[in-house]
Amino acid sequence: MEYLHFGNASGEPLVILPGLSLKSVMNLKDLIVSAYAPLAKNYDLYLFDHIEEEPEGYGIADMAKDTLNAFDRLGLDRIHLMGVSMGGMVAQTIALLAPERMLSLILCSTAMNTVHGDPAVFAEWQTLAEQRNTEALAAAFGKSVYTPSFFEAFKAPILASCSGATERDFRNFLISLSAARAFDVSDEIRKIACPVYVLGAGEDRVLGTQAAYDLIEALRCAYDIYDGYGHGVYDEAPDYLDHIAAFLKGEKTFRLAMKHIYGDGVPEDNDLAFTLLTEARALGHMEATYNLGVCCHYGYGTDVDLSKAFALYLESAEAGYGKGMELVGRFYNRGIFVKRDRTQAERWLKNAMESGDPDAVEEAKKEWSVSQ
């Protein structure tokens, strides 16, 4: 398995898993290094290719295991993992197989299964690949993945990127396409416990826009949906990597804040932790928002202010954070700061019990018993 290594060697590892392609992405090394320059400033980047020859029946789980073996050989322990399209399927599987490795998970134009995908798109790709029609496959792929204006503007390099495809390239493409179509972790997805960021597209013809919303609903995570873009938004949107950088910075800032709260390898400092949590919240980190609520609730690094605490808990709850939902339900159930409201209490406690967060589920069940 080939890989590309570049960026800031002193930064945290960020592993990128690309999507389905007819030819190896290693042919585009210079373009990749240039494209990911905004992330390379602060992170130690690794981009992994697929194995050179995929055996029949090679599935997404096999890809994940081979990638984990490569991590072992390179000494990659704790990582940020970014998966694009089919690479996002592999990334989800890695997060389920090796949760102890995950600092965060970034899912780009991907899905937990292909139920919302366009069967006609997959069928066309398969037929053209079986016919070994390189130019037609490249054109069909580009038209499905990109917006019409982008495809027309970059048609020549898109078609050229597939030229010279070998018999092995076509075989690998068909095996990977079959693996992606068979992929389904909908029964397990809620077990992913690390921070997750989902980026989807409002006009995704390949996997369907609803695929991103399904991930967001299941993972209760941070997200952005790009309206007006298709599946290949990761190549088209000029601020795409800026959003990813902001998520990563928010996660790093949050982890540092929590270290200062508990004195984990750094001085215990609630004032500094409060400042860092405020910065992480501004970057869209919902767990930081919740923990700011805790600070305002109990006076850690700031004055006790139940009004601010409730507002912050509610903000995190509305963003899908389970513990925030449980506390909003508790506030309404017991009349803490807000007027007691059983309807609102049961609404938020029920949401918490469905959140997939084990702690939130357990506490919500206890609070639910009090409300009955």
pLDDT digits (tens, 9 = 90+) for 76-131: 999 999 999 999 999 999 999 999 999 999 999 999 999 999 999 999 999 999 99
Q: Do 42 and 175 belong together in one domain?
A: yes
- 185 compared with 337, residue with greater pLDDT: 185
Query: Which residues 6+ apart lie within 8 Å of 98 measured at CB?
Result: 68
- When divided into structural domains, the chain yields a total of 2
Which pLDDT band holds residue 217 (cuts at 50, 70, 90)? confident
Q: What's the whole-number mean pLDDT along residues 37-52?
A: 95
- The DSSP H or E segment spanning 244 is helix 240-262
Q: Do 42 and 84 belong together in one domain?
A: yes
Q: What's the whole-number mean pLDDT along residues 324-350?
A: 94
Q: What pLDDT shows up at residue 356?
A: 80
Which pLDDT band holds residue 297 (cuts at 50, 70, 90)? very high
Q: How many CA atoms lie within 13 A of 366 on its CB side?
A: 8
- Please say which residue of 210, 238, 266 terminates a domain: 238
Q: What pLDDT shows up at residue 372?
A: 59
Q: What's the whole-number mean pLDDT along residues 306-333?
A: 95
Q: What's the whole-number mean pLDDT along residues 283-302?
A: 95
Sheet of strand 196-201: strand arrangement: 3-7, 43-48, 12-17, 79-84, 102-108, 196-201, 222-226
Which pLDDT band holds residue 241 (cuts at 50, 70, 90)? very high
Q: Do 254 and 160 belong together in one domain?
A: no
Q: Do 150 and 195 belong together in one domain?
A: yes
Q: Do 260 and 211 belong together in one domain?
A: no
Q: What pLDDT shows up at residue 284?
A: 87
Which pLDDT band holds residue 369 (cuts at 50, 70, 90)? confident
Q: What's the whole-number mean pLDDT along residues 1-17?
A: 96
Q: What does each C-alpha distance from 322 to 44, 117, 245, 299, 355 come to in angstroms? A: 32, 29, 25, 22, 5
In three state form, how does the secondary structure of 80-98 look? EEEEECHHHHHHHHHHHHC
Domain containing residue 299 = 246-371
Q: Do 49 and 169 belong together in one domain?
A: yes
Q: Which two tokens stand for residue 315?
A: 């903000």
Closest CA to 186 of 94, 93, 320: 93
How much is the pTM? 0.87
Q: What's the whole-number mean pLDDT along residues 250-267?
A: 94
Instruction: Specify the CATH number for the domain of residue 260.
Output: 1.25.40.10
Phi-psi region of 267 (alpha: psi -120 to 50; beta: other; left: phi over 0): beta
CB atoms within 10 A of CB 227: 9
CB 199 within 8 A of CB 106: yes
Q: What's the whole-number mean pLDDT along residues 31-44?
A: 95
Average model confidence (pLDDT) for the chain?
95
- Please say which residue of 217, 238, 259 terminates a domain: 238
- Please say which residue of 188, 209, 238 terminates a domain: 238
Q: Do 251 and 295 belong together in one domain?
A: yes
Q: Do 222 and 251 belong together in one domain?
A: no
Q: Do 168 and 285 belong together in one domain?
A: no
Q: Do 45 and 102 belong together in one domain?
A: yes
Instruction: Specify the CATH number for the domain of residue 112.
Output: 3.40.50.1820
Q: Does the pLDDT value for residue 221 go beyond 90?
A: no
Q: What does each C-alpha distance from 118 to 145, 208, 211, 230, 359 come to in angstroms? A: 12, 7, 12, 13, 38
Q: What's the whole-number mean pLDDT along residues 211-233?
A: 93
Q: Do 61 and 152 belong together in one domain?
A: yes
Closest CA to 258 of 301, 198, 308, 302: 301
Q: What pLDDT shows up at residue 371?
A: 61
Q: Do 226 and 277 belong together in one domain?
A: no
Q: Does the pLDDT value for residue 10 go beyond 70?
A: yes
CB 271 within 8 A of CB 261: no
